[in-house]
Amino acid sequence: MAIPDFQQTMLPLLRFIKSGSVYSISEVVEQLAKEFMLSEEERREGLPSGTQLKFENRVGWARTYMKKAGLLVSPERGKIQITDRGLKVLKENLDKITSNYLRRFPEFKEFRDTTTTQVIATDNSAPSGSTPEEILEESFAELLTNLENDLLENIKTASPKFFEQLVIDLLLKMGYGGSRKDAGERLGRSGDGGIDGIIKEDKLGLDVIYIQAKRWENTVGRPVVQEFVGSLAGKRAKRGILITTSQFSREAQEYASSIETKIVLIDGDTLAKLMIENNVGVSVTAKYELRRIDTDYFSED
């Protein structure tokens, strides 16, 4: 039997986890491979880049899509569990679940509209008239968005100490001065005034920047920023970076931009993008180069 596309694995996957127990991804892959009667050769078939097995990759995308639609959750890393919404979907006795079907759920529709691509779907949902270059770029955008989301999920499950060190590592990669040892000195102790870390603005240490990094779930409002500014005043500091895994309210952003103290606000989306740009917490699995004709080379003038 041919390796099923990722949409063909959605419904069988959801049926397998219908008991409500927590399952590992490896358990799911093994069960679905048996259900689709894949040969050993099909199980070992890899993607063109050779970085991942094709069937595991497709099951992974099925999991991602249904997770975005709220049909399942990841209670811990590498594990999945069906949700009440997922159980309701099973009661509909569907013949299959596709990405078009999942668009009825607002969370999934927002996810797909944000990435502005239908390329991964195999049910003729790719935008008509798209050029190969557009398809490639849109596919890359979706992969990047998914990576950003996964990064934030991992950050939120990490310990507060790890998160603070992650922030220091990122700032060092971005070119701020000092070493990991002295930059990573935690000031998050009693009486620190809400400061979580400190980093040199340059390698000579002519000035320092104070950091507060918190894994907030709710929108961070103006009072939190004001409190941070007060903490900086206590240190006689004029520069600070406030980082959250959620987002800042408009009032918080307006306040930060209106005061003399220089405060940089970094929300969860920006944090994930910066980590990817600076290769913190991520690794390159494959590189693709797009080439076109060099018209100058073929010019005979």
Q: Which two tokens stand for residue 156?
A: 């939120």
Q: How many domains does the chain have?
A: 2
pLDDT, one tens digit per residue, over 151-171 is 998 898 888 888 878 888 898
Domain coverage including residue 100: 6-157
Q: Provide the pLDDT for residue 78.
A: 84
**Shared domain check, 187 and 54:** no
Q: Which amino acid is at 263?
A: I
Q: Provide the pLDDT for residue 193.
A: 53
Rounded to whole angstroms, what are the CA distances from 184 to 49, 196, 228? 37, 9, 19
Rounded to whole angstroms, the Cα distance separating 118 from 144 reads 14
Tokens 């949409």 found at: 7
Q: What number of residues does the chain have?
A: 301
Q: Which two tokens stand for residue 19?
A: 């008991």
**Shared domain check, 262 and 211:** yes
**Shared domain check, 138 and 201:** no
Which of 52, 286, 263, 269 shows the shortest CA–CA distance to 155?
Answer: 269
**Shared domain check, 216 and 179:** yes
Range from 45-54, 207-216, 251-260 that averages highest in pLDDT: 251-260
pTM above 0.85, yes or no: no
Rounded to whole angstroms, the Cα distance separating 254 from 169 reads 28
pLDDT at 196 over 80: no
**Between residues 214 and 194, the one the model is more confident about:** 214
Domain final residue pick, 127, 157, 187: 157
pLDDT, one tens digit per residue, over 184-193 is 455 444 345 5
Q: Which two tokens stand for residue 12?
A: 């069988």
Bridge partner list, 46:
53
Rounded to whole angstroms, the Cα distance separating 59 from 80 reads 12
pLDDT at 138 over 90: no
Host H or E run for residue 204: none
pLDDT, one tens digit per residue, over 61-70 is 899 999 999 9
